[in-house]
Amino acid sequence: MDKPAPVDYPVAGPIRERWSPRAFGARSLTPREWRSLFEAARWAPSCFNDQPWHFLVARREEPAEFAKMLECLVPRNREWAREAAALLLAVARLRFRHKDSPNRHALYDTGQAVALLSIQATTLGIRVHQMAGFSAQKAREVYGIPEDHEPVTAIALGYPGDPDDLPEGFRAAELAERTRRPQTEFVFAGKWGDVFADGEANETRDP
């Protein structure tokens, strides 16, 4: 199922095509696809090039490992994420390696790595759904995550499935129109709340 964003201005194809479905098919990723995704994450920008991101991977073809990570999700996310090809946990190292001091950019940089992974996945026809609904504490216990590392997000990924196969209560969200706040609500200049004017307000929109 494709669901391109109804953009107001031109953006790169993979950005427009990226979205977060809950319906996944049974098809597994190939080793080359896995390495392509993590290579994209590897080249994300980061403060001092510290690269604070780490990923834990659980593939559905390894049932015991998959079940272990599935249990880290909140119950409502388990209902649909159990059909994904794999589950990931993105984890950030909270201290700089080169000077062992707090890295307040670690979560931001880990988010950038996940964003690039998501865009690369989209170019391969793979869908990614990031989740706040997981237990960081359970993940720490299950995987032995060090105290100076923070579980940031859980991720379900795989090839698209049929929305009709989703549990009741998820289909409507899957088929709903995609929306975003307009740029005028979050792009400012001069002072907070003053809308950025680019001088081309009357330019014809052509997505």
Q: Which pLDDT value is given to residue 201?
A: 52
**How far apart (Å, rounded) are the C-alpha atoms in residues 32 and 160?**
19
Furthest C-alpha separation in the chain: 57
Give the tokens for residue 69: 């990570």
**138, amino acid identity:** K
Work out the number of other CB atoms within 10 angstroms of the CB of residue 23. 22
- The secondary structure of residue 26, as a DSSP letter, is S
Rounded Cα–Cα distance for residues 177 and 188 (Å): 27
Domain ranges of the chain: 13-161
**Local confidence band at 1 (pLDDT 50, 70, 90 cut-offs):** confident
CB 66 within 8 A of CB 87: yes
- Bridge partner residues of 188 (DSSP): 195
pLDDT of residue 200: 65
Residue with tokens 């975003």: 180
pLDDT, averaged across the chain: 95
Q: pLDDT-derived band of residue 185, with 50, 70 and 90 as boundaries?
A: very high
pLDDT tens readout for residues 131-176: 999 999 999 999 999 999 999 999 999 999 999 999 888 999 999 9
Average pLDDT on 12-30 reads 96
The pLDDT of residue 204 is above 50:
no
- Averaged over 188-204, what is the pLDDT? 80
| Residue 168: per-residue pLDDT | 86
CATH T-level assignment (fold) for domain 13-161: NADH Oxidase (3.40.109)
- Would you state the pLDDT for residue 207? 47
Question: Are residues 56 and 143 in contact, defined by beta-carbon separation less than 8 angstroms?
Answer: yes
User: What does residue 10 show for φ and ψ, rounded to 5 degrees?
Assistant: -65, 140
Q: Which residues 6+ apart lie within 8 Å of 35 measured at CB? A: none
